Amino acid sequence: MTKLEAPEKSFAGEGMYREHILDHYQHPRNFGEWKTCSVQHTELNPVCGDQLSFQLNVDEKGKVMDVHFNGQGCAISIASASLLSDEIKGKTMVQIQKLDKNGIQALLGITLGPARLKCAMLSLDIVKNACLIYQKYGKGGK
Amino acid sequence: MTHVQQNSFSSIQKEFPILSRKIGKHSLVYLDNAATTQKPLTVLKAMDAYYRLHNANVHRGIYRLAEEATLAYELAHQKTADFIHAQSMREIIFTRGTTDSLNMLARMLSSSVEKGDEIVVSQIEHHSNLIPWQQLANAQKAALKFIPLDKKSGMLDLSRIDKIITSKTKIVSIPHVSNVLGTIVPIKEIARRAHKVGAVVSVDAAQSVPHMPVNVRSLECDFFSFSGHKMYGPTGIGVLWGKESLLNHLEPVSFGGEMVREVYYDRATWNDLPWKFEAGTPPIAEGVGLSAAIDFLQKQGMEKVRAHEKELVKYAYDKLFALKNISIYGPEPKFRSGVITFNATPVHPHDLASLLNEKGIAIRAGHHCAMPLATLLNISASARASFGIYNTQQEVDLLVESIKKAQSIFSGGKRAVV
């Protein structure tokens, strides 16, 4: 018979809300909003109502110099956004497109089940799409 | 304080194999019964026996198995009719579930709605009792109107019902019990107003049939939809009940085998009720499972089921209400079924669901398939605990303790645990 039981890890155990995740949730880094930036992008996770906005400042070579984000969400989505915002500083848009779910889970330091992975991936989806918009339309976004 | 368990179903958990499952090292505490219920052994055994001993297609073969399968499938219609006090089994159409019932009904009624007519629903609808009517209204250029929610009481505001249900109203479709707020809707009162203007009344009963005695005739509605899997039966089967006098005049919306009497290359005539609305091979094993679920519920007695859940929801409501930083949505316990939707600040409902999962407790987090209602309540997400026949006060205690712990984790652990 096919084994359907999820691995114990996705039950997350006591590990899911480790101190650094709670810290990034309660004191998110790079949290705020600029009046102007190179590109800004917002996305919503309609299933849970979480909504995040990312603002990037990009230099001529396509390197992310600085980042701000704001919005609302669960601990996993806010902590992921906060960790990601630090991670992408100094990275080029090409490098950012290479980030994936393994990278996000490595930043969080936990493995997530499919439902919570959606929370964790919201910020990376937004940042990647923001980069694509910048590459297509240049400064100011669409 | 020791609380004496008044549960008349104290040994019923044993009848549900899944309830002995462990989640990690914890016993499963299943509090997502508004989404789907667990299945008693009698339902599993009935379906297993059907496939092992009787499986055949219905209404065709003249061999022994086909006769047995047909009998079992027709008996499922009869039991369902008796369970909701329908006039006869001709009024019982098996569908895939409540959503399918409501979609089918909207298509069956589509030709009765014309430009400028009105369809009335409420502000507390599940998406499945909103979108079929919204799409029908859009297609026919009819208006979709809403019976408002009184946010303060958590009940529907019927004070202006005469302005909402008017001579232009053709269809009124309302929930019997809200899947978010637990609100029990006064169907009869709304139905009487609707019938005064000649409208037909459809009831989304997905959340009521498993939890309280139901009599479609005393509710004075015309159509009534519910699901097998929310009443301890299998997935893949639901019911659309309609008054025979109305069903006789409605055209089928799904065509093929089973539903026909005579077929020619250029035309066809329809089978008798209810078969003219059941095209194709129906959910036979699921019908057998639904029969067993009805037997199970009738053995318990629906009055007792309601009494148990009423007591449990009151107990849970009072305990949750006593927590700090809690918002509970919907009416006070006496006006609600076994559903409690809430937010436990500062814990996001998704985080709460994850933390409760670590204790083996299954609750729902999200918008509960009622996005417009969430917007109306001005919440992006909420947590929902919904109760069934097998839930106990001890499980509620565990839920409340675990919510407190989650709140303390998210308050930096500094907040004293009450």
Ordered DSSP codes for A2-52: ---PPPGGGG-GGGTT-HHHHHHHHS-TTBS--S--SEEEEEEETTTTEEE
Question: Which of B253, B273, B299 corresponds to the end of one domain?
Answer: B299
Contact A47 B366 (CB under 8 A): yes
Do B52 and B154 sit in the same domain of this protein?
Answer: yes
Give the separation between CA B345 and CA A3, rounded to whole angstroms.
Answer: 37
Say which CATH number the domain at B252 has.
3.40.640.10
B283 with B314, same domain? Answer: no
Q: Do B282 and B317 reside in the same domain of the chain? A: no
Same domain, B306 and B292: no
Average pLDDT over residues A39-68: 92
Give the pLDDT band (50/70/90) at residue A48. confident
Note every long-range contact of B345-350, with CB atoms under 8 Å and residues 24 or more positions apart, other chains counting: B345/B407, B346/B407, B346/B410, B346/B411, B347/B403, B347/B406, B347/B407, B347/B409, B347/B410, B348/A73, B348/A74, B348/A75, B348/B381, B349/A48, B349/A74, B349/B381, B349/B382, B349/B383, B350/A48, B350/A74, B350/A76, B350/A116, B350/A119, B350/B381
User: How many separate domains does chain B show?
Assistant: 2
Residue B147 shares a structural domain with residue B277: yes
- Looking at the fold, whether B223 and B310 belong to one and the same domain comes out as no
| CATH code, B391 | 3.90.1150.10
User: Would you say residue B1 lies in a domain?
Assistant: no
Residue of A nearest to B364 (CA): A48
**Whose CA is closest to B298, among B287, B286, B290, B288?**
B290
CA distance A124 to chain B (A): 19
Tokens encoding B157:
């505001």
Low-confidence ranges of chain B (pLDDT < 50): 1-5, 413-418
A74 is catalytic: no
Note whether B182 and B207 are same-domain residues.
yes
Find the domain containing B326 and state its range.
12-30+302-410
B398 in a domain, yes or no?
Answer: yes
The whole-angstrom distance between A130's CA and the closest CA on chain B is 24
On whether the CB atoms of residues B29 and B359 are closer than 8 A, the answer is yes
Do B57 and B190 fall within a single domain? yes
Quick one: pLDDT at residue B43? 98
**What's the ipTM?**
0.85
Residues B153 and B258 in one domain: yes
Cβ–Cβ gap B358/A48 under 8 Å: no
State whether B268 and B344 are in the same domain. Answer: no
- The reported pLDDT for the residue numbered A11 is 42
pLDDT recorded at residue A14: 54
Tell whether B180 lies on the interface with A, counting CB pairs under 8 A.
no
The answer to whether A75 contacts B410, with C-beta atoms less than 8 Å apart, is yes
- Among candidates B350, B358, B412 on the partner chain, residue whose Cβ is nearest the Cβ of A11: B358
Report whether pLDDT(A13) > 50: no
- Percent of chain A exceeding pLDDT 70 equals 87
Contacts across the A-B interface (CB distance below 8 Å): 57
Domain contains B416: no
Query: Does any domain span residue B185?
Result: yes
Q: Please give, rounded to a whole number of angstroms, the shortest distance from the CA of B27 to a CA of chain A.
A: 14
Disruptive mutation site among A8, A74, A108, A122 for chain B (greatest number of B CBs within 10 Å): A74
- Picking from B299, B327, B353, the residue at the C-terminal end of a domain is B299
Dihedral sign, Cα of residue B86, residue B89, residue B93, residue B95 = positive
Domain assignment present for B402: yes
CB contact under 8 A, A48 and B350: yes
Q: Which domains does chain A have, with CATH numbers?
A: 18-137 (3.90.1010.10)
Q: How far apart (Å, rounded) are the C-alpha atoms in residues A17 and A7?
A: 18
The answer as to whether B37 is a domain residue is: no
Asked if residue B235 belongs to a domain, the reply is yes
Domain boundary among B242, B274, B299: B299
Please report residues of B whose CB lies closer than 8 A to that of A76: 350-351, 354
Q: Which residues of B touch A12 (CB under 8 A)?
A: 354, 357-358
Residues B349 and B224 in one domain: no
B378 touches chain A (CB under 8 A): no
pTM > 0.80: yes or no: yes
Shared domain for B295 and B313, answered yes or no, is: no
Q: Is residue B39 part of a domain?
A: no
